[in-house]
């Protein structure tokens, strides 16, 4: 049990929350065909733009305290991978709050979150009316999915869908029907089980589940979606299936039919964090051995944390590892996307996004 406890502590420090410890980082210089982009704070999730050289970056800001973990204000930024320049998109100082826009989120949303904004998972998609939508899991000020319009390299807040009380969400993916799927890592509706979530995961037991949201029904729990620390999520183009990751001793990527909630298939992957689409493949990234982090006291910048990027065929649910790193150039890996023939890799800790040739 001691080994499992260390494992789960490392997983939770990383995949769920990250670490606010800022220690000496590796030099921000290319190494062979690997190129780091520095100047970030916990760049946990990424979304590539259609122009082939810009990335939206979710800069998380979660810090350990003596009594638990504290979400602090973070931001969504835009990275130009050609010039290396970073421009912050939201929140913008001096920009007043706004009221929700009809058709974006829940009509009861009270207004823009502004400076309290603390992002986690993000998802970029095109709405039926042609406008680009960015969904963001937000923990600052309220637990919610925030709706933004991405227009002319700007983020315009449009609305929100506040989560049910006790939710602890992680990643989100839009559905073609205007709704979304979002993972809920720890179910706070049962305080006793929530308080012992780490012990439950160490035993391979479920701690959370997946929410489905639509404008008509709001949040509904997906039957049979329970799992240990549900994390990354994606929906297919047709809106027929969603895929989500669970962690701990049972770490795997699961395929679920949306209409029925039936689990169709699953594939074992070491500690999968976020999910993204690479054309017809799914990409996931994570730590190869979280115990390497626990040996550093949960401080991934203090010693290397080897990681992987794995491609999954959604039809056969077979996994192929397409990239590994030893952790000396980037630690705490959490996400990977493909753009312009290269992989871009985010991390729940540290100051950088890493780029490598795609396979």
Q: What is the pLDDT of residue 201?
A: 80
Among 83-97, 101-115, 298-312, 315-329, the minimum mean pLDDT is found in 298-312
SS3 91: coil
Q: What is the pLDDT of residue 92?
A: 86
Quick check: 137 pLDDT over 50?
yes
pLDDT tens, position by position, 271-295: 999 999 999 999 999 999 766 555 5
Element (H, E) at 16: none
Tokens of 15: 């995949």
Closest CA to 211 of 188, 194, 195: 188
pLDDT tens, position by position, 174-210: 999 999 999 999 998 878 777 777 788 878 888 999 9
- Provide the Cα torsion 132, 215, 140, 80; round to 10°: -10
Neighbouring C-beta atoms of residue 281, cutoff 10 Å: 15
Domains observed in the chain: 2-357 (2.120.10.30)
pLDDT tens, position by position, 214-250: 999 999 999 999 999 999 999 999 999 999 999 988 8
Percent of the chain topping pLDDT 70 = 87
Q: What is the pLDDT of residue 262?
A: 94
Closest CA to 30 of 355, 338, 350, 325: 355
Quick check: 18 pLDDT over 70?
no
Quick check: 124 pLDDT over 60?
yes
Closest CA to 35 of 26, 46, 23, 24: 26
SS3 201: helix
Q: What is the pLDDT of residue 225?
A: 96
Quick check: 356 pLDDT over 50?
yes
Closest CA to 342 of 354, 321, 353, 358: 358
Closest CA to 177 of 215, 209, 205, 143: 215
Quick check: 297 pLDDT over 90?
no
SS3 250: helix
Q: What is the pLDDT of residue 23?
A: 44
Q: Residue 345 contacts by C-beta under 8 Å, 6 or more apart in sequence? A: 285, 307, 309, 323, 325, 330, 333, 335, 336, 353, 354, 355, 356
Element (H, E) at 340: none
């Amino acid at each position: 049990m001691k080994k499992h406890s260390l494992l789960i502590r490392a997983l939770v420090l990383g995949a769920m929350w990250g670490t606010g410890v800022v220690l000496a980082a590796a030099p921000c210089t290319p190494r062979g065909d690997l190129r780091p982009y520095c100047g970030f704070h916990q760049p946990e999730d990424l979304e590539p733009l259609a122009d082939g050289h810009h990335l939206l970056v979710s800069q998380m800001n979660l810090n350990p305290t003596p009594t638990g973990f504290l979400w602090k204000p973070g931001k969504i930024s835009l990275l130009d991978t050609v010039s290396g320049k970073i421009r912050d998109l939201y929140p913008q100082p001096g920009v007043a709050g706004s009221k929700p826009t009809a058709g974006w989120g829940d009509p009861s949303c009270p207004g823009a979150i502004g400076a309290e904004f603390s992002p986690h998972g993000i998802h970029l998609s095109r709405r039926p009316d042609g406008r680009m939508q960015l969904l963001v899991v937000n923990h600052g000020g309220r637990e919610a999915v925030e709706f933004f319009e991405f227009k002319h390299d700007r983020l315009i807040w449009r609305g929100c869908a506040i989560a049910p009380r006790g939710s602890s969400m992680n990643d989100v993916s839009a559905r073609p029907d205007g709704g979304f799927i979002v993972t809920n890592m720890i179910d706070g509706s049962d305080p006793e089980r929530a308080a012992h979530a780490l012990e439950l995961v160490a035993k391979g037991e479920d701690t959370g589940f997946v929410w489905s949201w639509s404008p008509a029904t709001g949040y509904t729990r997906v039957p049979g979606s329970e799992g240990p620390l549900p994390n990354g999520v994606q929906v297919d183009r047709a809106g027929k299936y969603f895929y989500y990751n669970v962690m701990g001793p049972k770490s795997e990527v699961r395929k679920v039919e949306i209409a029925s909630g039936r689990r169709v298939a699953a594939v074992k992957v070491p500690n999968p964090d976020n999910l993204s689409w690479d054309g017809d493949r799914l990409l996931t990234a994570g730590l190869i051995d979280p115990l390497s982090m626990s040996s550093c006291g949960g401080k991934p910048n203090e010693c290397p944390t080897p990681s992987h990027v794995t491609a999954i065929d959604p039809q056969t649910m077979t996994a192929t590892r397409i990239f590994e790193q030893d952790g000396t150039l980037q630690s705490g890996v959490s996400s990977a996307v493909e753009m312009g023939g290269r992989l871009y890799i985010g991390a729940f800790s540290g100051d950088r996004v890493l780029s490598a040739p795609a396979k």
